[in-house]
Amino acid sequence: MIRPALLPLALLAFALALAALSGLLPPGLLWPPAEMQLPLAGWITAAMAWLTDSAHLGPVSFKDMTRGFAALIEAPYNAVRILLVEGITEGRGRRATVIVPPISWLAVTVAVVALGHYARDLWLGLLAGALMLYLAVFGQWESAMVTLASIAIAVPLGVAGGLALGIAAWRWRWAERALWPLLDLMQTVPTFAYLVPVLVLFGFGPVAALLATVIYAMPPMVRVTLVALRAVPSEILDFARMAGCTPRQTLRKIMLPVALPDLMVGVNQVIMLSLNMVIIASMIGAGGLGFDVLNALRRLDIGGGVEAGIAITALAIVLDRLGQALAARSGGAALAQGPLWRRHPRTALVLAVILITMALGYLIPALHLYPKDWQLTTKSFWSDLMKSININYFDQLEAIRTWLLENLLIPVKRFFLALPWPLVLALATFAGWRLGGMRLAALALGLSAFIAVSGLWEQAMTTLYLCGVSVVIAMAVGLPLGILAASNEVAGKIIGAVIDTLQTLPSFVYLIPVVMLFRVGDFSAMIAVVLYALVPAVRYTAHGLRAVAPELVEAAVVCGCKPWQILTKVRLPLAVPMILLGLNQTILLALSMLVITALVGTRDLGQEVYIALTKADVGRGLVAGLAVAAIAIIADRLIGAAAKDARARLEGAA
């Protein structure tokens, strides 16, 4: 009789034995047979074709409705582009004459400084201004303003939609139950998969990119809104009822103002996710900095890609810091008395700079457009650095790549591809039953069966292998770094700065140096995924260790425990729930990055999504995207159940 604690090890040994003997198994046991696979992609493609070609709502076709909706969004987007990028012109192309120029680089920089000063203090304003100045000095201003125009439209749409859905979920229980699985899909389906149906419905261009960005960035706002409204103290609600407020008045005048600080956190998340989407959205016409990075990746222009990537990071830091400061700002100072300019000095200053630079820009062009002669570039530095590494360390890098391919990646890949598909379904179901009961077991079985009947089993196993290896390496590196960051203050600051940089760099930026050093293939994809997914492994480990109660550590010291014993016997066991949450986030980030690494030659589900995007094949893209989402949801639910179980055991022991 096998003890329950040893059952997972026994199943793993059984899986290894079956994988080793896979050559002796019938073909139908290795991969799902063709007769049980469903033509899901064809069904979805046919349904989308019917929507775009034949569906009507009254006298108006569905396609006309989508194009009309796109026109409604395009109008404010064009207005913002006129303000920040193009100005008011007469004529088109090179013969266009600028009648009213756009807001100058100097005016936008002053406005950002003023907003930082209003949100927190002058130091924040100067930091934001310096980062905006970087965009001008390094020749990224126009592209950055195109990106900012997209953000200026996508964020209000995402915030408004998320707020409305969050209120609906708070008010009606059925709405919450309907929204929760939809939100899970929106956050786990790869972003490439969003682009395919959006491209078909709304056409190629910035509007389609805006809508894809909103879909990607909205879910956190919905969740934050629901949590924030439920966190409003019951005493305040009782007071509103006693005062005779209607439900609408209670929501609008009491609950939303009380929940505003938490809601601003959701707004900040929408801003950051929108920026995260700019490169991917550039594939369907977004333009801006995202297009610059994507174009640099296609041309393997390391210098141009790094500069554009740093520009996105600079813009992300500006919006992130300003968003956090505005979220933390409570109330405001009493208004000064007197004329308008004295009551709102910052606004008056910004308006004055806009008008002055607009008027004097005709005489002094540098006030309006940052002169090209003043611009700097580091493109040659990055390119020369990469060439130097390739020339001087090619043999060492190639040896590392070959060794890891032969001794880790290829054997693990063969193991996953040799696993019989019924065994994989059984293992997923068993894990769900052990960790979360029959309900989680049924979910794991259903999602695994969907992958089996989708016809993408080989690609799914390749995705699992790449994700698994990358996550193991990320956790193996992230756990020690998190422990070091929590144990040493100086190391914590250094590691925190590196982690913050990795978090703000666009995902595509990782691919350029990796491809330059290691060429295309699974190894390059793994390195990029590890770098991108490393952040939560470090951050959650450090946070979990720091959150351990000081009294428990002091008790261990009194008992005579050594530092190593305190770490292994006290702090790490108590931090297990938080470390598991970090593992969960690491897996989700790895899966999202694997779709992007399809550009460097992987043959997994991400490649399927990317091929579907290039061919505008809605069915193929959505089925592959849903398969990735199925893997992500299974991992999320299993690890979430394990974290819950670990937390319950710790509370029981206490």
* One domain, residues 363 and 463: no
pLDDT at 360 over 60: yes
* One domain, residues 568 and 430: yes
What whole-number distance in Å separates Cα of residue 532 and Cα of residue 379? 23
* pLDDT for the residue numbered 14: 59
Average pLDDT on 407-416 reads 88
Of 101-115, 146-160, 221-235, least confident by mean pLDDT is 221-235
On whether residue 252 sits in a domain, the answer given is yes
* pLDDT for the residue numbered 24: 56
What 3 state SS string does 450-503 have? HHHHCCCHHHHHHHHHHHHHHHHHHHHHHHHHHHHHHHCHHHHHHHHHHHHHHH
> How long a stretch of residues is the chain?
654
On whether residue 25 sits in a domain, the answer given is no
What whole-number distance in Å separates Cα of residue 142 and Cα of residue 148? 10
User: How many domains does the chain divide into?
Assistant: 2
* pLDDT for the residue numbered 131: 92
Of 128-137, 148-157, 433-442, 606-615, least confident by mean pLDDT is 606-615
Average pLDDT on 367-386 reads 82
* One domain, residues 327 and 421: no
* One domain, residues 369 and 404: no
Distances (CA, A) of 129 to 105, 263, 308: 11, 26, 18
Over the stretch 60-91, which tens digit does the pLDDT of each residue have? 777 777 777 778 888 888 888 888 887 777 66
* pLDDT for the residue numbered 197: 80
- Residue 339: Cβ within 10 Å count: 9
Which token pair is 612?
Answer: 């579907």
On whether residue 447 sits in a domain, the answer given is yes
Q: List the beta bridge partners of residue 97.
A: 90
Over the stretch 457-511, which tens digit does the pLDDT of each residue have? 888 999 999 998 999 999 999 999 988 888 888 888 888 878 777 776 777 777 7
On whether residue 38 sits in a domain, the answer given is no
Burial 120-158 (b: 16+ CB within 10 A, else e): beeebbebbbebbbbbbbbbbbbbbbbbbbbbbbbbebb
Q: What percent of the chain has pLDDT over 90?
A: 5
* One domain, residues 86 and 195: yes
* One domain, residues 412 and 300: no
On whether residue 429 sits in a domain, the answer given is yes
* One domain, residues 83 and 173: yes
What whole-number distance in Å separates Cα of residue 526 and Cα of residue 473? 9
On whether residue 61 sits in a domain, the answer given is no
Whether the CB-CB separation of 628 and 605 falls below 8 Å is answered with yes
Range of the domain at 353: 72-376
* pLDDT for the residue numbered 18: 58
CATH code of 531's domain:
1.10.3720.10
Contacts with 219 (C-beta within 8 Å, 6 or more apart), sequence order? 162, 183, 186, 187
Choose the final residue of a domain: 376, 410, 435: 376
* pLDDT for the residue numbered 447: 92
DSSP state of 244: T
pLDDT at 604 over 50: yes
